[in-house]
């Protein structure tokens, strides 16, 4: 089963969670902006978020409308890219990347009393935040962790050790690849409780992946889930168009590379969420088939996901 979910609009980069017995989908919202395509992603000029819910994966999809708009955010510049939502103590927290008025990506927080919003943004971004693609893990023990970062237009190459550098660039091919970041959130869910750490991905020999290993190294689109007590870090390889996964014993890693989840889709980007619902596992992602291959007009889809006996994830082929 592979199903397109929202045929009447372009939605991408899904974050998906089970709240109150329903699936809730928080995607980015593509639109035709008239901006020429480039490696900085300026053509992805999204300006709002919708939320969708489903009682069943094969059932109706309910659009709850706009839950946050660029105009609602006091520090906004442009580009509301991929977001995620977490629940704690009766409230829902929406984490979103947005360029500030100096065109630097920061990560903000908006709060709601219901999963369908609307969400009210905080007056400023999270102190010390940067780059894109926040994904939140509820570890089940009261702790929540954010995974974030993306190369090229996501600006991750402009940082080392959580500090901006003068001339951002990717490492040489024989140097360790740039890593996603992981950080534990504060109890109030509004701040970083510590300095972000590197998410290290190891090869089969226990060696960190190199920047030149483009079919396996991290590029963007972090997601974290747990299965049989293990932590599964999944991500996109960006310019080689794969979704991959790595497995570890801690939310901080390190994670050992285990294989491809999804082969390349139509359209440049690959971005996803993995969620268990009614005793089955599902992969939510997007492609550009309905738009005729236009990379910045993407459509959400879902397919069932399966694990091998050794705990690795079986590859879904497009």
- Delineate the domains of the chain, giving CATH numbers in brackets: 2-305 (2.115.10.20)
How high is the pLDDT of residue 40? 86
Region for 190 from its dihedrals, namely left if φ exceeds 0, alpha if ψ lies in -120 to 50, beta otherwise: alpha
Q: What is the pTM of this model?
A: 0.97
Residues 225-247, mean pLDDT to the nearest whole number:
98
Cα separation, 61 vs 302, in Å, equals 12
pLDDT at residue 125 in the model: 98
Q: Is residue 104 over pLDDT 90?
A: yes
Whether residue 134 contacts residue 185, with contact meaning beta carbons closer than 8 Å, is answered with: no
Q: Report the chain's mean pLDDT, rounded to a whole number.
A: 97
Q: How far apart are CA 70 and CA 51, in angstroms?
A: 15
* pLDDT score recorded for residue 318: 78
Report yes or no: 294 and 43 within 8 Å, Cβ to Cβ. no
Q: How far apart are CA 107 and CA 83, in angstroms?
A: 9
Active site residues: 13, 220
Phi–psi pair at 239, nearest 5 degrees: -70, -5
* CB burial string 196-207: b at 16+ within 10 A, e below: bbbbbbbeeeee
């Amino acid at each position: 089963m592979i199903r397109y979910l929202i045929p009447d609009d372009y939605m991408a980069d899904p974050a998906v969670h089970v709240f109150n017995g329903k699936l809730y989908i928080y995607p980015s919202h593509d639109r035709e902006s008239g901006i020429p395509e480039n490696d900085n992603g300026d053509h992805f000029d999204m300006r709002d978020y919708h939320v969708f819910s489903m009682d069943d994966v094969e059932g109706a999809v309910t659009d709850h409308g706009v839950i946050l708009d660029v105009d609602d955010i006091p520090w906004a510049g442009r580009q509301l890219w991929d977001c995620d939502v977490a629940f704690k103590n009766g409230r829902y927290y929406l984490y979103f990347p947005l360029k500030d008025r100096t065109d630097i990506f920061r990560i903000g927080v908006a709060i709601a009393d219901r999963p369908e919003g609307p969400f009210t943004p905080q007056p400023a971004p999270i102190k010390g935040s940067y780059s894109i693609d926040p994904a939140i893990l509820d570890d089940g023990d009261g702790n929540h962790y954010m995974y974030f970062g993306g190369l090229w237009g996501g600006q991750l190459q402009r940082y080392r050790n959580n500090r901006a550098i003068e001339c951002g660039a990717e490492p040489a091919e024989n140097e360790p690849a740039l890593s996603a970041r992981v950080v534990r959130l504060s109890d109030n869910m509004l701040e970083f409780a510590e300095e972000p750490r590197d998410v290290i991905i190891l090869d089969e020999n226990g060696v960190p992946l190199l920047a030149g290993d483009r079919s396996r190294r991290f590029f963007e689109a972090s997601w974290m889930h747990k299965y049989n007590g293990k932590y599964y870090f999944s991500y996109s390889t960006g310019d080689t168009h794969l979704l991959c996964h790595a497995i570890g014993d801690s939310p901080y890693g390190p994670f050992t590379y285990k294989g491809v989840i999804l082969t390349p889709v139509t359209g440049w980007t690959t971005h996803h969420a993995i969620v268990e619902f009614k005793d089955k596992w599902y992969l939510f992602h997007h492609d550009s088939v309905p738009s005729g291959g236009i990379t910045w007009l993407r459509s959400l889809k879902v397919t069932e996901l399966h694990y091998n006996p050794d705990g690795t994830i079986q590859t879904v082929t497009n």
